[in-house]
Structure 1
């Protein structure tokens, strides 16, 4: 089977970690790839803060180049070795990883990364690799996709031989996993912020357009239903199922058409769309069909990874991704280093998303170009992280 880019990045990181530093040309030979590919991989990983790059060489963050010759490392010498299992190193989880890396560096710890590429059946093997590499504690973000994945692919986590913290994942109430430490964004609160903001702008109950292929997507769907219940609202129609346009173009077009029909029929004038990429592509396609954002449709995206880069900058719910990584790492380090840490009660820490108001919801136009009404700014201030 052909090696994926994520797997190659993982091998590259392991090579640099073992050596302390290495030339890009040497990495290309060791990985069996062209120098151009190795250089591109290094630039990506350095941009994510997972490697330091200087004059044709790379080094493990915080470690001097001398580490390659066996000299002792100044960083990571007095803190525990931490392992991080993530489903991806890009998009949403790039910021989570960056936050974990920052907190580990502050604690003098070394962070080792494994990527599951959203294949939950491989999570256990990847975690065993982290333990074999010396991880004394684990940050676990399983590659779950479907609602049944925690039960089918997650119970092994409770039997780990070292302290572990669930990262951006919630377990079924009452399950063994639910008794573990965890740090996660409160996506239900994020959905509530979006619905309330659109209602405050004078719209009827907004529609939800969402994927169903990740824990975040499922949490946004649940949060939307809960938000409507809390506000005493009824959905104008069923949730419109979204899918990746490049992988399933016909189904994506069907979602666009359903949203278009809801707008032109007067069923809805506002929508929350998960995620940013889908939202940007939908805005473009809706414009081709004669529906303009925000004139005909006020829209809020969920994730805020690339929302600000759209032709019409998208108002977006921004989960505190980097802070999730930081807080989970701090909690894990405390468990490992505080002599009372192991005896403390387990913790479930929920961090609140914030709403970033831009053009796509129409709030700036309504307020004469300011950053939103007083109520909107209060929401943002109240939920900053």
Structure 2
């Protein structure tokens, strides 16, 4: 017979009192409920002070807590991580998170959404049922921020969660979550500033639609304005993945009709595909058009090695993992949580051949 929630709470307390401590998975199995349901029960009872919650286990409170209870450890913690893919930027992010968790004696368990937003909560439930005590999440929010209530399931999550390379705008309830992401606007502005320093006055931008387009757009436009560059009509162009001919035609027109001499392209893949398309149309990189790619996954492997903005991918994973482990340690100790954190890491500009030597640099050499 299925127990009422109050009866279930009483049974949980009875079992923990009798045995002193129990693994959450064992307790859920004995009561015949899901791990997710049991975790919610444990959180409620721990908040009342009726029992103590350690990593993956519950302990009956005593007047003289054990050394393990006084000094909580993240050893043995299971961290779930949900990403849309393990390719491109997420490969190094996952690697950084895994190495950090394992260095603390924990284990990282991966779930993938495939950029399908409805898959995020499915993966989360699966990881929680398997014993995950905290979640690192890069939700499949198309614009990088939640829309139409996409964050609702995340706010109901019974374990600590950290957003990775995603954010929520002020006023959205998910803005109160911890998050770690790359400051992509800063990276775009650094790219434009580098091109301006080479003497380029009309810099276009061609971006791939998706979670990072808004940030890159903001940085590009801010830099064009602050540096007093010539605004390029239509830039930034934001295109769906694979619309290479349309991107190439836009850039050829911008070079020939609008005086554009440089461009910022997101992503590396798009930049590499565009270079030969531009060449076939009579526009050569870097002779006619200086180019900076964004992401630096494979930019250096182009036939003309591409200058690129490189997000600190591994560091994003490392810091996100450290933050979730900190939250688990706080819970285990019963200490008041430290303030929520929004961490933004600055990308690096890696200069290669695709920018050539600009007018400003040539002038310096001639002097």
Q: TM-score range by the shorter chain?
A: 0.7 to 0.9
Equivalence for 2:256: 264
Q: CA deviation at 1:197?
A: 0.3
Instruction: Give the direction of change, closer, same or farther, for the CA distance of 1:150–1:343 in structure 2 (3 Å limit).
Output: same
Q: Residues of 2 paired with 1:133 and 1:344: CA distance?
A: 28
Matched, 1:236 2:228: no
Aligned length in residues: 289
Give the match's secondary structure for 1:282.
helix
**Which structure's relative contact order is higher, taking Cα pairs within 8 Å and 6+ residues apart?**
2
1:221 pairs, out of 217, 220, 240, with: 217
Contact 1:104 1:329 in 2 (8 A): yes
Equivalence for 2:140: 143
User: Following superposition of structure 1 onto structure 2, how do residues 292-307 of structure 1 map, counting pairs within 5 Å?
Assistant: 292-307=284-299
Give the match's secondary structure for 2:354.
coil
Equivalence for 2:337: 343
Equivalence for 2:161: 164
How far does the alpha carbon of each residue in 1:128-167 deviate from its partner, in whole angstroms, 9 at most, with x for none? 1110110001101001114774443222212211111000
Equivalence for 1:79: 76
Q: CA deviation at 1:105?
A: 1.2
User: Following superposition of structure 1 onto structure 2, how do residues 1-385 of structure 1 map, counting pairs within 5 Å?
Assistant: 78-146=75-143, 149-212=146-209, 214-238=210-234, 239-245=236-242, 251-338=243-330, 339=333, 343-363=337-357
How far does the alpha carbon of each residue in 1:269-312 deviate from its partner, in whole angstroms, 9 at most, with x for none? 00000000000111110011111100000000001001001000
Q: Residues of 1 paired with 2:259 and 2:334: CA distance?
A: 57
Contact 1:357 1:363 in 2 (8 A): no
Q: Residues of 2 paired with 1:197 and 1:341: CA distance?
A: 47
CA RMSD of the aligned region, Å?
2.3
Equivalence for 1:71: none
Contact 1:243 1:252 in 2 (8 A): no
Structure 2: stretches of 5+ with no match in the other structure: 1-72
Q: CA deviation at 1:203?
A: 0.4
Q: CA deviation at 1:266?
A: 4.4
Contact 1:240 1:259 in 2 (8 A): no
Instruction: Give the direction of change, closer, same or farther, for the CA distance of 1:183–1:134 in structure 2 (3 Å limit).
Output: same
Query: Scaled by the length of structure 2, what TM-score is found?
Result: 0.74
Equivalence for 1:62: none
Structure 1: stretches of 5+ with no match in the other structure: 1-75, 246-250, 374-385
Give the match's secondary structure for 1:184.
strand
Give the match's secondary structure for 2:218.
helix
Give the match's secondary structure for 1:153.
coil
Q: CA deviation at 1:365?
A: 11
How far does the alpha carbon of each residue in 1:240-277 deviate from its partner, in whole angstroms, 9 at most, with x for none? 233322xxxxx421211010111122421000000000
Give the match's secondary structure for 1:287.
helix
Instruction: Give the direction of change, closer, same or farther, for the CA distance of 1:123–1:151 in structure 2 (3 Å limit).
Output: same
How far does the alpha carbon of each residue in 1:323-370 deviate from its partner, in whole angstroms, 9 at most, with x for none? 0000000011011124376510000000000000000011499869xx
Give the match's secondary structure for 1:152.
coil
